[in-house]
Structure 1
Amino acid sequence: MLVAHPLTHPWTLRHDGPVTPSQLEEGAVFAAQVPGCVHSDLLAVGAIPDPFLDRNETEIGWVGRTGWRYDTTLSDAFEGHERTDLVFEGLDTFARVSVAGRQVGESQNMHRGYRWDISGQVGAEGVPLTVRFADAYSEADKVREEVGARPNVYPEPFNYVRKMASSFGWDWGPTVVTAGIWRPVRLESWSTARLAQVRPQVTVDGSTGTVRVQADLERTATGRSRSLRLRVSAGGQSATLDLSPEQDTAELRLQVQDVELWWPHSLGAQPRYETLVELLDPAADTVLDTWSRRLGFRTVALDTTADEHGSAFTIKVNGVPVFARGVNWIPDDVLPSRITPERYRLRLEQAKAANVDLVRIWGGGIYEDRAFYDACDELGLLVWQDFLFACAAYPEEGPLPAEVEAEARENVVRLMPHPSLVLWNGNNENLWGFEDWDWKPELDGATWGRGYYFDLLPRVVAELDPSRPYWAGSPWSGSTNLHPNDSRHGTTHLWEAWNRRDYADYLTDVPRFVAEFGWQAPPALATIERSVSDRPLASDSPGMLHHQKAEDGNGKLARGLAPHFADPADFDTWHYLTQLNQARAIATGIEHWRANWPRCAGSIVWQLNDCWPVTSWAAIDGDGHLKPLYFELQRLYADRLLTFTTDGGRIRLAAVNQGARPWNAPVELRRVAADGTTTARFTTTVEAAERSVAHVELPSELTCDADRAKEFWVADADGLRALHFAAADRDFAYPQAEFDVTVDTREHDTLITVTARTLLRDLLLRADRLDPAAATDRGRITLLPGEQAAFTVTGWDSPGIHAARRALRCVNGLSPEHA
């Protein structure tokens, strides 16, 4: 039987360059955590400052520009085996590995694993194992010199190396260029043969599920003279196949009757079936190796049918069309080896709690750990997986093509057992970049990645994982005869609204599938105060600007506020309004696109999470605080959504029903004055079939002679509410905010109840102002006079009325303590 021995400790780390940096003592040796990285080890002993604080990022740039060395010792832990392998699941990135002073292998790709035969080299105690890492910048320079320069959206060389691109910095992330043994390493000892690769393809026909297992074997010299057996078990069924001595590949099919289908959580349950593959030696009556996963039976297809609007881009699971309620995922830490299974689980549970049903893993990050995909399988979150190319022209010469193919093959096989995985995507924005970002003159005919996206990657997916769709890139319109970001076809990225226009621009079109769009906002105040020491805080203070990585980011925040609000008078107002504007912008887009289902079949918000404390597009900030956008997603992505739409000046109500049952409910429609008086009223019924949208035209008595500076519209149905203000906030006649507050302390939390005495527009409780560790359960809410809202707060040890009032803020009026 194959035996594995993890090599977790003890490891040491030391500098490995010709000149010792001034920040280190000559010959300094540090304890190393494996898996881990150089930065986390140096942080652990205080050798570098925390790059997440102030402008420390700039002080630690030297770490990524020099070499490092890891050392440990090996011992013979496995007697009686023919073969011992040294297995690294991930080396970041350019490493030379030596055992007893002899080099056994080298790596140049962070996104794949490595296995080297070291049989006979660990027969004594204390055999040294050394891993030397060269700096990624020097290696990138070598490749650039060999293949020629290529355009890139950032002045960093990430497109010349197979390494997490965003470690070189992004418009939401710091430049922290890592190195280290970032995934587990172990010794594996075995005899006769082992399972080198297992590829399970799962299909469903009616109620019958089929698992087609393809297995590759590796044999020792002894194993090449032996007949072996492959056995597959799943769902109470099993099948076997005998293998001749010269056979190194095998295929076995197993049928499971009356299977329960796996669904995204928005459509059903997530049953999975334990599947075991065993490699047996019948003559010796032994199990040589095993492989096991929990597989889900489901079908997935991508509908790109042409229609009167262009061509669709609709994901179908088990034949059911899905409006994808998505978020984009970036690495949850700029030091990805620090992300634990528990942290993955927390973030993904938060996504599900926000009614998200699809997570897109963006192409500038990593193929995530198995724990990520296992959690998605269990939680019912669909996964869209980018291959790791983003925002640059990638050479197709030198060492890169072979590495890209090896990386793709390994990760397709590694991830294909997961039922949550529904789409392979070739790249992020590179097809668009080639067409629109002035690359062509600089390239002058040089390669830029096209061969990867239209040949290599689809060929690998078709060979290894043919049950899943592949899409060449995002954005991509599905044809080289169309602009890659043509909203009538395929996937669309919408960044003009954020970069140059108002978010009302979202209302001008109905894309088939919005794979990226977003709006920035600062993180929670507690996150800012922990990571930025500027006092007093200002939106343009040095630390705040350092934690704003987007080009002209603050200018765009200001331009985004200008159509709606007067200039913020102070930092607190700026913070409140920019966070509110983020939630409103995303709401404008999603409400519009969901109201136009099935023409539009998905929205993927940029982005769910952050990798450090930063002003960004995220719904969850770098310290884990939930921004108002997070709670807005809960409302926007619920099965049922009420929203007002406008068409040629006419106001309509859309009742969006993504649920599996019809939605029939009475609706009360009102026109309401700023003082809360109802000036017109109309009652009707919405009837929305399952997975459909019903539209209600507002009668003339609700819209004629309306004073848009003093009146607004309200719709209520089944506890849901939609609001429509036709005037900008700065032009609306808001009353001064007046309200009452009560604070009730309970055993495990505190209830803050607000009773409105006037209209309160977009009331927010900023819980971190009560305590940096405090959290609340809801985001913005608009109250009419006499209405109440209750906020449940956890993590607040000293409840009080005055603190509660200071933490509340709404659009109308001064800060509440002055109300």
Structure 2
Amino acid sequence: WIQPIRDRNTGIWDKVTIEKTGAVTIENPHIVTKVSGLRKPDGAQAPAFIEVEAELSNNSKTTKTGFLKYQIENHTVYVPVTLNANEKKTIKTDRVEIQNPKLWWPNTYGPQNLYTSYIGFVENKSDSKDGLEAIETGIRQVDNHWNNYTRSMEVTVNGQPVFIRGGNWIISDQMLRFSQERYDAEVRFHRDMNLNLIRVWGGALTERPEFYEACDKYGLLVMQDFWGSGDCNGRWIDPMKLEDQWTRRQYPDDHSLFIESAADMIRMIRNYPSLAIWCGGNEITLASDLHHALKDSLMPLLDPNRWFIDYSNSDSMSYNSIGGNGDGPYGIQTLPYFWSYRTWPFNSEIGSVGVGDMTSLKRFLPKENQVIPIETPGVEAVQDSVWTYHKYIGYGKSVEAYGQPKDLEDFANKAQLVNYDQYRTLIEGFIGHQWDWYTGIIIWKTQNPWTALRGQMYDYYLDPNACLYGLKKGGAVFHGMY
């Protein structure tokens, strides 16, 4: 369903910056917000608390004295620091109490209030912010507990139960051409669909800061996978792969580099209020030494307050009493299916069709391939090889319910009616059974990093199709369902 990124291990592909600093540098600040009790998005709030720590390094050959300074709103904290030549220390501030805080909430639950806080090393106390690092801070507390009724994990934010309505995110652009504007537009689409979580799928990568900033802005919680996926890492026998299943179970080749990179990722994104869940990998537990390094060493040390899931359809997230892989299905369904069939209680991947309209199709299908796809029951491939290349997933007889299509444009228009019904009914079926059958759903998938013909609410060119509007209607906080 996606073509591989070519030359993905070759050279520098992302931004590189050079900074000029003083003798003492601050590294890896960590800001943790504590919001106790059951809160509401409006009205007066009980106090919240902020815990801050950072690593300070003296890069000079002489002793340096000064202060670790942290500032948020009208609160300023100074911690005296003495660093010997070339010494590095982790410094913690006193707990900061925020009276009547403006809390951060996920989409549809409340506003996404953000504070700008500042942290840095200073030699003297002053009101200046020069040399301080600015960090956007959302005051919220995300917790999880096991729901014995649904037999799945339940998420709370600021004490309020949050029914997870999420989308699986692959990567913004297959060619790694990232921009703040594209991130903002894509995450905003997820806000508009009344979703409240984006899962960054484990077969891709850690996104850039602009992605998490957009999630903070629009109220999308983030479930961040580490880099592993069952289809690549040997969950199944695959004769098409060069190496055997058990060799692939030990991927990647350099475990030390993986662990070092994981530690860097945790430090890089742990301050974003939208980050809610860590996941060891997609549909598979990583090689034993990697898994235990993440779960038993890195998480307790670097980010002990967030939920860590072994893998995306683990029984610790969603108990599998049905059998099978623990997620799906991925194709066209009859509309009653989404209401009547009880699937996994926190389904990390479920989706359907997603062909765009004619405007979208014309952008990447050659004129000679702008034909109605002719399907063969039981297989994904269709008669036209270009449609097969772009991973078209079949509609069965659902389009013909609106009349036999005359040409591709007619087919695409009628497919939009199917798209709308599929995703409106999918999300309504889960919401209609929330807290009874389910605690969450994550749709496979909501976007495409290339010109694919499945699993998308909008295409590679950011052109929405009717899937988006079906989700928007079906996920509306107040609306009639049938």
Mean CA deviation greater in 188-197 or 411-420: 188-197
Distance 1:577 1:487 in 2: 37
**Residue type of the partner of 2:29?**
V
1:250 deviates by 0.9
Question: Residues 227-246 of structure 1: matches in 2 within 5 Å?
Answer: 227-246=65-84
Q: What is the aligned counterpart of 1:188 among 15, 19, 41?
A: 19
Q: What is the aligned counterpart of 1:519 among 326, 339, 352?
A: 352
Q: What is the aligned counterpart of 1:270 among 112, 132, 136?
A: 112
1:174–1:485: structure 2 CA closer, same or farther, 3 Å change rule? Answer: farther
**Residue type of the partner of 1:249?**
T
**Residue type of the partner of 1:348?**
V
2:28 corresponding residue in structure 1: 197
2:199 corresponding residue in structure 1: 360
1:414 match: secondary structure? helix
Q: Is the contact between residue 315 and residue 322 of structure 1 (CA under 8 Å) also seen in structure 2?
A: yes
Q: What is the aligned counterpart of 1:404 among 258, 261, 267?
A: 258
1:295 deviates by 0.7
Q: What is the aligned counterpart of 1:528 among 341, 357, 361?
A: 361
Q: What is the aligned counterpart of 2:327 among 493, 515, 534?
A: 493
Question: Residues 266-415 of structure 1: matches in 2 within 5 Å?
Answer: 266-282=108-124, 289-307=131-149, 309=150, 311-336=151-176, 338-391=177-230, 392-393=232-233, 396=250, 400-415=254-269
1:569 deviates by 5.3
Task: Map Cα deviations across residues 80-117 of structure 1 (whole Å, 9 max, x no partner).
Answer: xxxxxxxxxxxxxxxxxxxxxxxxxxxxxxxxxxxxxx
- Aligned: 1:419 with 2:273: yes
1:250 corresponding residue in structure 2: 91
Q: What is the aligned counterpart of 2:471 among 589, 611, 633?
A: 633
1:452 deviates by 2.9
Distance 1:381 1:259 in 2: 20
Distance 2:316 2:111 in 1: 32
1:303 deviates by 2.1
1:587 match: secondary structure? helix
Higher normalized strand content (fraction of residues): 1
Q: What is the aligned counterpart of 1:597 among 434, 441, 466?
A: 434
Task: Map Cα deviations across residues 370-411 of structure 1 (whole Å, 9 max, x no partner).
Answer: 111112212222222222222322554785222222222112
1:683 corresponding residue in structure 2: none
1:320 deviates by 0.7
1:521–1:264: structure 2 CA closer, same or farther, 3 Å change rule? Answer: closer
Distance 1:191 1:301 in 2: 39
1:180–1:263: structure 2 CA closer, same or farther, 3 Å change rule? Answer: same
Q: Is the contact between residue 192 and residue 221 of structure 1 (CA under 8 Å) also seen in structure 2?
A: yes
1:604 deviates by 1.8
1:289–1:543: structure 2 CA closer, same or farther, 3 Å change rule? Answer: farther
1:509 deviates by 0.9
1:212–1:546: structure 2 CA closer, same or farther, 3 Å change rule? Answer: same
1:473 match: secondary structure? coil
1:35 corresponding residue in structure 2: none
User: How many pairs align?
Assistant: 444
Which structure 1 segments of 5+ residues have no match?
1-170, 432-447, 645-819
Distance 2:252 2:193 in 1: 45
- Aligned: 1:580 with 2:417: yes
1:197 deviates by 1.8
Distance 2:372 2:319 in 1: 33
Distance 1:251 1:572 in 2: 62
Distance 2:319 2:401 in 1: 29
1:264–1:383: structure 2 CA closer, same or farther, 3 Å change rule? Answer: same
2:265 match: secondary structure? helix
1:560 deviates by 6.2
Q: Is the contact between residue 522 and residue 578 of structure 1 (CA under 8 Å) also seen in structure 2?
A: yes
Q: Is the contact between residue 561 and residue 577 of structure 1 (CA under 8 Å) also seen in structure 2?
A: no
1:398–1:379: structure 2 CA closer, same or farther, 3 Å change rule? Answer: closer
1:536 deviates by 6.2
Q: Is the contact between residue 487 and residue 510 of structure 1 (CA under 8 Å) also seen in structure 2?
A: no
**Residue type of the partner of 1:343?**
R
Q: Is the contact between residue 513 and residue 601 of structure 1 (CA under 8 Å) also seen in structure 2?
A: yes
1:256 deviates by 2.0
1:535–1:474: structure 2 CA closer, same or farther, 3 Å change rule? Answer: same
2:211 match: secondary structure? helix
1:463 corresponding residue in structure 2: 301
1:565 deviates by 7.2
Mean CA deviation greater in 251-260 or 538-547: 538-547
1:477–1:361: structure 2 CA closer, same or farther, 3 Å change rule? Answer: same
**Residue type of the partner of 2:179?**
T
1:321 deviates by 0.7
1:642 match: secondary structure? coil
1:610 deviates by 1.6
Which structure 2 segments of 5+ residues have no match?
38-45, 234-247, 375-381
Q: Is the contact between residue 47 and residue 100 of structure 2 (CA under 8 Å) also seen in structure 1?
A: yes
1:282 deviates by 4.4
- Consecutive aligned runs of 4 or more in structure 1 exceeding 4 Å deviation: 285-289, 394-399, 501-505, 540-544, 562-569
2:237 corresponding residue in structure 1: none
1:188 match: secondary structure? coil
Give the percent of matched residue pairs that are identical in Structure 1 and Structure 2: 21
**Residue type of the partner of 2:363?**
R
1:563 deviates by 9.8
1:174–1:464: structure 2 CA closer, same or farther, 3 Å change rule? Answer: closer
Q: Is the contact between residue 36 and residue 159 of structure 2 (CA under 8 Å) also seen in structure 1?
A: no
1:407–1:494: structure 2 CA closer, same or farther, 3 Å change rule? Answer: same
**Residue type of the partner of 1:580?**
L
1:583–1:514: structure 2 CA closer, same or farther, 3 Å change rule? Answer: farther
1:345 deviates by 1.1
**Residue type of the partner of 1:272?**
L
2:282 match: secondary structure? coil
Q: Is the contact between residue 28 and residue 55 of structure 2 (CA under 8 Å) also seen in structure 1?
A: yes
Task: Map Cα deviations across residues 329-369 of structure 1 (whole Å, 9 max, x no partner).
Answer: 22121122x22111111122222122222222212222112
**Residue type of the partner of 1:374?**
E
TM-score (norm 1): 0.50
Q: Is the contact between residue 503 and residue 560 of structure 1 (CA under 8 Å) also seen in structure 2?
A: no
Task: Map Cα deviations across residues 468-516 of structure 1 (whole Å, 9 max, x no partner).
Answer: 211111111118xxxx871679x95212x628x7565443215322221
After superposition, the CA RMSD in angstroms is 3.2
Distance 2:417 2:128 in 1: 64
